[in-house]
């Protein structure tokens, strides 16, 4: 008979002790896992009951913009500045004219908080000599919600969205100094240098659509883009042979005469030009429809002669819808 403290007996005792400890660890681990599962199930049931209760869950503002709270939004509307009855700076320093009158009336009818921002045209629509026209940086970057008084053109529609129009289309024209000292002939403009107003409807692409004009597709070296007053200075200095733009820009301009008034490139009259992701048109069109069907629209048109009668430009019958 082997002694009680033989190596085999000691081994068996040690193995038995370790096996007992392993079983204990396993029991504790299983218990902890069961407790975790139970706690998870209780949490799910509690959340389900909370969502199904009548109590309103707290609202988390995730990804919402100011346009989702339209009552609080300030809509910024761009207006260009010129020297005609459409948009001009009065002697008191206010932005006035037919276009601001339309914007203010529509915003009031729609009960929207609008602010008109006067800025240069090229921040809404721009082009460089010989290049394709493109969206202005200001509207593309969201400086404004819309640009007011912009004529509807196919190339503009590829970039921006437009509201319904609030005027008839207006014609374009050439302009020279009175008496046409450089003998500019609009029927053949081959080799002529023509000035185009920055951001205006009548650019070289519009001119290229004109019928009956030889040389209407000008080479880049014969195209001059310029701000409004700079264009007239160049014409006076005979740096350019003629200017081309909307004819209204030549109305009442001393020392300037028009040639060949025609409508070549517009698919619509004046409208609000917006980014394609803007919500402005959703409320603008219904409100503007109410304005155009009301006496107020005719009063705004009449103010072109009355309130803005000291400014050059077309008569309301030339551009107001229904007159």
**17-37 confidence digits (pLDDT tens):** 444 444 444 444 445 555 555
pLDDT at 56: 31
Q: Average per-residue pLDDT in the chain?
A: 82
**Domain boundaries along the sequence of the chain:** 69-169+267-319, 172-262
| Residue 186 pLDDT greater than 50, yes or no | yes
69-169+267-319 has CATH 3.40.190.10 classification? yes
Sorted by sequence, the CB contacts under 8 Å of residue 283 that are 6+ apart come out as 70, 110, 112
78 or 267: which leads in pLDDT = 78
Q: 172-262: same fold as 69-169+267-319?
A: yes
pLDDT of 128 reads 75
Write the DSSP string, 29-51: HHHHHHHHHHHHHHHHHHHHHHH
Summarised one tens digit per residue, pLDDT across range 94-150 is 999 999 999 999 999 999 999 999 999 999 998 777 778 899 999 999 999 999 999
Tokens of 240: 């350019």
Interatomic CA distance for residues 308 and 58, integer angstroms: 54
pLDDT bin (cut points 50, 70, 90) of residue 38 is: low
Residue bearing the bigger pLDDT, 99 or 61: 99
What is the per-residue pLDDT for 6? 45
What is the CATH architecture of 172-262?
Answer: 3-Layer(aba) Sandwich (3.40)
DSSP state of 73: P
- In this prediction, residue 320 carries a pLDDT of 96
Residue 92 has pLDDT above 50, yes or no: yes
Please provide residue 245's backbone torsions phi and psi, each rounded to the nearest 5 degrees.
-170, -170
Q: Which of 199, 192, 156 is nearest to 176 (CA)?
A: 192
Q: Which of 52-61, 153-162, 305-314 comes out lowest in average pLDDT?
A: 52-61
**pLDDT tens digits along 244-257:** 998 888 887 899 99
pTM over 0.75: no
* Helix 98-110 and helix 280-292, axial crossing angle in degrees, nearest 10: 110
Percent of the chain's residues with pLDDT above 70 = 78
Shortest CA distance to 225 belongs to which of 250, 248, 247, 200?
A: 200
Hunting for tokens 């082009």 — which residue is that?
127
Stated as kind and residue range, the H or E segment containing 135 is strand 134-135
């Amino acid at each position: 008979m082997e002694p009680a403290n033989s190596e085999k007996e000691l081994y068996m005792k040690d193995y038995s002790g370790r096996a007992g400890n392993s079983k204990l660890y396993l029991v504790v681990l299983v218990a902890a896992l069961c407790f975790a599962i139970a706690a998870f199930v209780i949490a799910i049931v509690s959340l389900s009951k909370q969502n199904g209760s009548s109590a309103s869950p707290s609202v988390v503002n995730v990804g919402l913009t100011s346009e989702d709270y339209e009552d609080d939004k300030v809509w910024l509307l761009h207006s260009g500045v010129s020297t005609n009855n459409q948009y001009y700076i009065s002697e008191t320093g206010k932005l006035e004219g037919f276009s601001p009158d339309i914007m203010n009336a529509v915003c009031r009818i729609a009960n929207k908080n609008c602010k008109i921002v006067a800025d240069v045209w090229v921040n809404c629509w721009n082009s460089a000599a010989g290049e394709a026209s493109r969206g202005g940086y200001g509207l593309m970057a969201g400086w404004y919600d819309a640009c007011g008084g912009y004529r509807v053109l196919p190339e503009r529609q590829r970039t921006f969205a437009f509201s319904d129009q609030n005027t008839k289309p207006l014609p374009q024209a050439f302009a020279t100094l009175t008496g046409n000292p450089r003998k500019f002939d609009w029927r053949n403009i081959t080799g002529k240098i023509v000035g185009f107003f920055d951001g205006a409807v009548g650019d070289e692409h519009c001119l290229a659509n004109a019928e009956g004009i030889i040389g209407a597709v000008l080479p880049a070296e014969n195209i001059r883009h310029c701000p409004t007053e700079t264009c007239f200075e160049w014409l006076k200095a005979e740096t350019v042979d003629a200017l081309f733009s909307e004819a209204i820009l030549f109305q009442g301009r001393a020392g300037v005469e028009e040639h060949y008034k025609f409508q070549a490139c517009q698919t619509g009259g004046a409208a609000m030009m917006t980014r394609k992701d803007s919500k402005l048109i959703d409320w603008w069109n219904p409100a503007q429809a109410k304005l155009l069907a009301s006496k107020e629209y005719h009063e705004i048109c009449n103010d072109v002669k009355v309130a803005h009668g000291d400014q050059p430009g077309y008569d309301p019958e030339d551009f107001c819808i229904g007159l």
